[in-house]
Structure 1
Amino acid sequence: MALNSQNIGTLPPRRAAYRDDKVLNLCLHVGVRRRRWFALDPRTKKEHTLGYYIHNAPQGSGSLGLAEARKKASETLLRLESGAPPVKQEVKHPSDTGLTVRQTIDAYEQYRLKKGGKGLKSLDHRLNTVRRNLADWLDLPMTLFAKSDLQKARDIIAGRTNGTMADRFQAYLSPILKWAWEEDKIAANFAPSVRKVGPGTVRRKRRLTDDEIRAVWHAKPETAQLRTFHRLVKFLLAAAQRKMEGATLKHGEVIDGRWILAKEDTKSDREHRLKLPQLALDQLGEGTAGTFCFPGARKGGVLGNFSQLLGQLHEISGTSGWALHDLRRTATSAMQDMTDEDGLPLVSRDVISAIMNHAIDGADGHYLYGAMLRAKERALGLWAGKLAEIVEKQPPQKVVPLCK
């Protein structure tokens, strides 16, 4: 394989080194963590290390590019051919002077696990999201990770998905950079100064129609991970809760049908108690108290790859254009529309807000601490009955979204 400036950063790891076709005996060994240039003595087969390559490394990082590697290899091989020993020089990997981006994330993970507290249940998901979106920078020394690198990663995510996902990535990375700055692993915490893309000025109103609900509910996923994701989707629709609160739900948190979320596990920092309808309980499966109801591919890990799984569910259900948070909007809007024979609301706005566990603003937040357990149970029961009626009908052959 011919080496070029585009592929040297993406070649897969292997035991045998890649050989350059321009400078004979210039080789690039690609390991799991490092990419090492060396000149191979054609007589003794001894490897003479020239330097290391780090993908996307900025100037001054110490990363050895292809052109410079060819120049150093030519000089070294010429000396070897003439019988002179190579110039002795100590070659260090740029990351030897400090932690890489990968090691910094790992170190932060250990710090958070030891500290405990709010957000620990979703830590695995958040850090895996950061690692996945910083894949091209993981081997870069943390001291060389710059504001421009974060901006580039943000723009790639926004172009591939949307502004909301880009902002979420920044929110996940921000505490890591703050900790790294406090621990003197970087010179400054530039995360607050990086502009967020934002979801746009148009407030999202997307809800699923009855036809879409039926199509999604009756979809038949073929892989284990998609089946788990499908259960989560149905659970979120029946319970009207947030994605990560559902994804990180453990079997031991549901006792006699009652789900108890500790305040540190909620976005609003308020304890949340719900009596789940049977339609939601049916999606939880079975497991020990400490295991996730919707486990990920890695044993003991939380479910991830939501964008990919959602795309697959769109395809097999024949639906499109809806996001996971639209399930919550669909359920709460349906409760809002429920009326009695006189056209009066069956579920008040306060009860719907309590089901969503929204924080209470203003002075009321200092006085209103009621759990509204019976009211929330009744409202979810009414919605579950309506949802059961919807999904019991035959799903349509073709789904046309009406609410955007």
Structure 2
Amino acid sequence: MRVVINEAVIADLRRQPSTKIRDIWDITVRGLVLRILPSGLASWAVRAWTAEGKRTSIKIGEHPVIKITDARRLALIQLGEVQKGADPVEARRAARRARLDARRAASSALTVEQAMVRWQRARIHAPDSPWSQNYAYRIESALRAHIPNSLRIQPLSIIRRDGWTKLLSEVAQEKPGAGAFLYTIVSSFLSYADAMGWIEGHPLPRRGRAFIAPHVPARTRVLEDAEWLAVWKAAEAEPVKLRVFTRLLLLTACRVSEVADMAVGEMVASGTIWVIPAARTKNGREHVVPLGPLARQELELVWPADTRNHGDYWMLLGKSPTNGFVGNGKLIKRLFETSKTANWTWHDLRRTARTGMTYLGVPEAAAEAALNHITGKSKLVAIYDHSGPSTSGIAALRTWQGYVTDVVEDQRKPGEAETSYRESLPEDLRWKSRPKFVPRAKAKPGRGASRRVETGTSLDSSTTPKPPKRRRKTPVGRAEPE
């Protein structure tokens, strides 16, 4: 249809129902077309023949955003370009291809190191389920130990599947636990890289964990009362802060990092309550821990006389007020020798406390709350119930600390709680044995990383950031490499 297009004509055509696309050619400017869709949407275009004899259609814009007078003016400009030998459509396509090529080039130039820094920063500040401070530090430590510098400096997009699987399998063969943890980290990182368009598809094979770096069986070590009592007494020979660190781990059933970084400002109610902030717990939930007389007695040994310089951030167990305790690996080796016990880890003390609570008759839900576990609580309850700490969990910890106090002060015999518990069981369950514990090498990142890579080069401290002196700060906050 060829008409002198004006607003009245356009309004009349839009009112007329139609199931077909209608092209209205303007008589005033030859080549100007108004296309009206069945939905009523209308757009302007210029149709002409290029110097190469190719039919082209140049989109100008939507109506009524662009009025008829503006459409005619823009159409004349485009027709002038075509008469000069240009092809505006092809020029736009070339510009679009250039932008895509530039984007691909920038993506291919993104190194593994830069991509990992961006990923860690995004996960730390994620609005939904961000990493806790301690978990972020574990991630940074594992990557620093096991990702060689020769891999870090390469473009992320050129690393093929065999490159990742070779690295992961070699770590898993030497340190099964560290390999399984590294597989989880790398898989999460590559999923993020795939979602961001840095790589074309996730390179790790589907269900490849079972073949490359399978999970190691969970530890089952539980120290008997005589064993943890020997450890308690062996801590007496250690420097005061190391002694307090060891004993508070047993009394509070907290994680190593939680005790190592405890600060003055976390003690409330005249030192009878320890509030661990959400940023320092594994599950990101605040944890309230009661401190009985024995725990307070230990804390008094390390309590500073004056905290005015650092205030609430004064860390109690580190070498300086601004640092938490580090070096627990050397400490535990000395305790092995002094206490004549072996094949246990710091986390086994937490498992020992949890088992002891069961022996003392603490209900399962209360014992789990005492460890700040969220098992048994549905996601819906977690979303709506913000009533605060579990009173039953606090009572469970007081029960456990009371038992430890009685055993340490010779008011109860070691093993009395377990004996009473088993005697209260039915006859067919009374003699059920403990799970058999099989010692295995501790999976700790950082040992032998240079031997596991093909190049044999160790990490370069000039390009790989060192761990922060204070784990309280976010470990991945550095600027990206240029």
- Aligned in 2, Cα 1:235/1:389: closer, same or farther, shift over 3 Å? same
1:356 and 2:391 correspond: no
SS at match of 2:133: coil
Paired position in structure 1 for 2:130: 118
Paired position in structure 1 for 2:401: 384
Deviations 1:341-363 (A, max 9, x none): xxxx3x22221121122224376
Query: TM-score of the superposition, structure 2-length normalised?
Result: 0.48
- Aligned in 2, Cα 1:303/1:183: closer, same or farther, shift over 3 Å? farther
SS at match of 1:218: helix
- Aligned in 2, Cα 1:261/1:170: closer, same or farther, shift over 3 Å? farther
Tell me how far 1:308 sits from its aligned partner.
Answer: 6.4
SS at match of 1:260: strand
1:209 and 2:224 correspond: yes
Paired position in structure 2 for 1:101: 112
- Aligned in 2, Cα 1:266/1:120: closer, same or farther, shift over 3 Å? closer
Give me the whole-angstrom Cα distance separating, in 2, the residues matched to 1:172 and 1:295.
29
Corresponding letter in the other structure for 1:273: V
Counterpart mapping for 1:137-152 below 5 A? 137-143=150-156, 144-152=158-166
Give me the whole-angstrom Cα distance separating, in 2, the residues matched to 1:190 and 1:364.
32
Counterpart mapping for 1:51-130 below 5 A? 98-111=109-122, 118-122=130-134, 123-130=136-143
Number of positions where the alignment pairs a residue of Structure 1 with one of Structure 2 = 290
Give me the whole-angstrom Cα distance separating, in 1, the residues matched to 2:165 and 2:265.
41
State whether residues 249 and 294 of structure 1, in contact with CA within 8 Å, keep that contact through their aligned partners in structure 2.
Answer: yes
Corresponding letter in the other structure for 1:384: Q
Paired position in structure 2 for 1:168: 181
Tell me how far 1:239 sits from its aligned partner.
Answer: 0.9
SS at match of 2:182: helix
State whether residues 274 and 373 of structure 1, in contact with CA within 8 Å, keep that contact through their aligned partners in structure 2.
Answer: no
Paired position in structure 2 for 1:37: none
Larger radius of gyration: 2
Q: Which of 340, 347, 351 pairs up with 1:329?
A: 351
Tell me how far 1:131 sits from its aligned partner.
Answer: 0.8
Paired position in structure 2 for 1:320: 342
- Percent identity (aligned): 23
- Aligned in 2, Cα 1:383/1:403: closer, same or farther, shift over 3 Å? farther
Tell me how far 1:204 sits from its aligned partner.
Answer: 3.7
State whether residues 236 and 243 of structure 1, in contact with CA within 8 Å, keep that contact through their aligned partners in structure 2.
Answer: yes
- Aligned in 2, Cα 1:250/1:111: closer, same or farther, shift over 3 Å? farther
Tell me how far 1:153 sits from its aligned partner.
Answer: 3.9
Tell me how far 1:127 sits from its aligned partner.
Answer: 0.5
Deviations 1:293-334 (A, max 9, x none): 55599x956666766664554345432211232211111211
Corresponding letter in the other structure for 2:254: Q
Runs of 5+ unmatched residues, structure 2: 1-106, 305-309, 411-433, 438-482
Corresponding letter in the other structure for 2:147: L
Give me the whole-angstrom Cα distance separating, in 1, the residues matched to 2:276 and 2:223.
27
Deviations 1:115-156 (A, max 9, x none): 687334212332122211224655441424444344344344
Paired position in structure 2 for 1:56: none
Give me the whole-angstrom Cα distance separating, in 1, the residues matched to 2:280 and 2:148.
28
1:259 and 2:270 correspond: no
Q: Which of 272, 277, 281 pairs up with 2:292?
A: 277
Corresponding letter in the other structure for 2:312: A
1:134 and 2:147 correspond: yes
Runs of 5+ unmatched residues, structure 1: 1-95, 339-344, 394-400
Query: TM-score of the superposition, structure 1-length normalised?
Result: 0.56
Tell me how far 1:285 sits from its aligned partner.
Answer: 5.4
SS at match of 1:168: helix
